[in-house]
Amino acid sequence: MEAATGAAVIDQESGPIGNNRAVQFVLLFALLILLPGLQGAFFGWLYFMLPTAVLFAMYRWEHGFRLVLAGLLIAAVIGGLIGAWGTIVLAGLLIPTGYTLASSALQHDGPAMSGLKGTVALLSCCLLLIAGQTLFSGVNPISAFLGSLDHDIEAALASYRQSEAFAPDTMALLEQSFYQMKTVLPNILPSLFASMAMFVSWLAMLTGNRLIRRLTGYQPWEEHTTWHLPDRLVWLFIGAAVLSLLPLGTIRLVGINLLILLSLVYVLQGFSILAFFLHKWKTPLLLRFFVYGMMLFQSFGAMLLLGVGLADVWFDMRRLGKSDPPPEDDVRP
């Protein structure tokens, strides 16, 4: 069956079967929220599935977001009883991301625009939470985090200085590295937050596209192997690189943060190109996931994906403008 891209909600079920499935989703969604708070070491990764679950619900049922809110309400009641308010707050940050992605897809936005909207939604929720906590507690959580980091660095350095296990040259190198961390991290914190929000949105789009297609026959966006960025975006990347080299203080910091964020954008485009060719060459599943892991979580692999993502702007490696159809993505990501 050929999947329809960007199609409308398909829920046509009614009666006991449809109601039972809706109730099952509500309970599973509540469990999805609560499990990371109960056993974060084992289930913490489930947080990242919340936007995907919201995206699925809004494609599966006409009033899917009501089911999401029902699941959130159940989780909030149980979380209040067991004192797991932190997980409810985090769910409250991630649910609007899924809602924004679903709304964007249903409006037939492309992957780039949907990803931008999802990232902005998550960042906006984070900023609202930070502002609310600062207003009511009088403590800025970012300042508290940076203060705690400085304290931990100083404590670690004091411990290393008292130890005789390090040579003087090694100790000097450690001190330089720690002090650079104290200086650099606050300056690039905006781009780190934005990059995390973008990665969460991208992951929700990637998993949601496959999940919705398998369970409904529709998919919000085209195959991820064909996702591409607007060509003109590369000039923003080049401009950010130029700004990051200027000795102009604040302007240089803006350039560095923008460069970090756009680098992730082109790494993700490079990942789509990598997936395109691995599918085209019918690479075995195990080897495929090994390559994905190596490329995404190794610094050299990430740099290679960045280079490929940038080069595609000029060389169109996948020949997306040609008449040949892209490779089908039927079984694997």
pTM to 2 decimal places: 0.89
> Would you say the C-alpha torsion 31, 141, 189, 116 has a positive or negative sign?
positive
Q: Residue 332 has what pLDDT?
A: 41
Hey, what's the torsion of the CAs at 296, 37, 55, 321, to 10 degrees? -10
- Within 39-63, residue ranges assigned H as helices are 40-43, 50-60
Buried b / exposed e across 283-301, counting CB within 10 Å, b at 16+? beeeebeeebeebbeeeeb
CB 212 within 8 A of CB 218: yes
- Transcribe 183-207 into DSSP letters: HHHHHHHHHHHHHHHHHHHHHHHHH
pLDDT for res 84: 85
pLDDT tens for 93-106 read 999 999 999 999 99
240-287 pLDDT, tens digit per residue, is 999 999 988 899 999 999 999 999 999 999 999 999 999 999 999 899
State mean pLDDT over 199-207: 96
